């Protein structure tokens, strides 16, 4: 599970660049100047890695010359049969990653811990954790308590689950206990930070997805990547 903290102002500015202009800026290293500052609590790709990923994708489309903006060029490429819809969404994702202040990531198998107790729910299907309503509730519930309280809720629930499974909580018997506890503590504090920053700043959006999920399925509402393409005036 990955959640990007997207700076929508940065994203809009980059999307408004003409295709050729964007390619040149990525090539000469000046595109990184349009990235939002990295949030020190989060992580993200290095500038050069994001630039290379974007350039590789642009090269793979076979589009050599376009005087239109990035998204319009993608839409025209789809309309003309040069690229398919999912390839176009891959390009949008490259800009999402580039224009984010950072991301929060967790193993999907652990993610239940960060939702069930705080929301008072029982997750039956992992797909539920990607639902927009679940995230709306999570934002409200998490941000109304302190980071330390949220961390304690998650860690205590993790300990309870271990006991119910008959697993030890004695670090002398299992040396992984303390590192795992520290990991849960850090991840909860970071998630609390991300959700708090998002709630306070109207220019931020959360773009949620998972490995192997089609990029057209990432994001919610108007910030779903597929919808970003479809609402462009050049999309047919």
The residue extents of the domains of the chain are: 2-106+204-230, 108-199
| φ, ψ at 98 (rounded to 5°) | -70, -35
Closest listed residue to residue 208, CA positions, set 122, 57, 104, 87: 104
pTM for the whole structure: 0.92
Report the distance separating Cα 168 and Cα 154, nearest Å. 18
For residues 142 and 150, the answer to whether their CB atoms sit within 8 Å is yes
Residues 185-212 pLDDT 10s? 899 999 999 999 999 999 999 999 998 8
Residues 52-99 pLDDT 10s? 999 999 999 998 878 899 999 999 999 999 999 999 999 999 999 999
Residues 116-143 pLDDT 10s? 999 999 988 899 999 999 999 999 999 9
Report the distance separating Cα 70 and Cα 17, nearest Å. 6
Tokens of 177: 């206990």
Tokens of 41: 């609590």
Residue 175 pLDDT > 70: no
Residue 109 pLDDT > 80: yes
């Amino acid at each position: 599970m990955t959640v990007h903290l997207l700076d929508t102002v940065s994203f809009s500015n980059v999307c408004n660049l003409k295709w050729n202009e964007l390619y040149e800026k990525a090539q000469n290293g000046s595109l990184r100047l349009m990235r939002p500052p990295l949030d020190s609590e989060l992580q993200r790709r290095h500038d050069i890695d994001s630039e290379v990923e974007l350039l590789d994708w642009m090269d793979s489309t076979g589009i050599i010359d376009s005087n239109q903006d990035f998204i319009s060029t993608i839409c025209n490429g789809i309309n003309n049969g040069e690229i398919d819809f999912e390839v176009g969404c891959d390009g949008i994702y490259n800009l999402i990653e580039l224009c984010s202040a950072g991301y929060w990531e967790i193993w999907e198998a652990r993610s239940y811990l960060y939702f069930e107790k705080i929301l008072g729910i029982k997750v039956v299907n992992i797909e539920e954790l990607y639902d927009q309503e679940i995230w709306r509730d999570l934002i409200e519930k998490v941000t109304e308590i302190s980071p330390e309280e949220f961390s304690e809720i998650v860690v205590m629930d993790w300990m309870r689950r271990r006991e119910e499974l008959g697993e030890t909580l004695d670090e002398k018997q299992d040396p992984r206990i303390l590192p795992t506890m520290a990991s849960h503590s850090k991840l909860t504090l970071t998630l609390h930070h991300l959700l708090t920053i998002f709630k306070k700043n109207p220019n931020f959006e959360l773009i949620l997805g998972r490995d192997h999920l089609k990029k057209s399925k990432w994001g919610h509402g108007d910030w779903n990547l597929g919808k970003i393409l479809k609402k462009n005036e050049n999309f047919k």
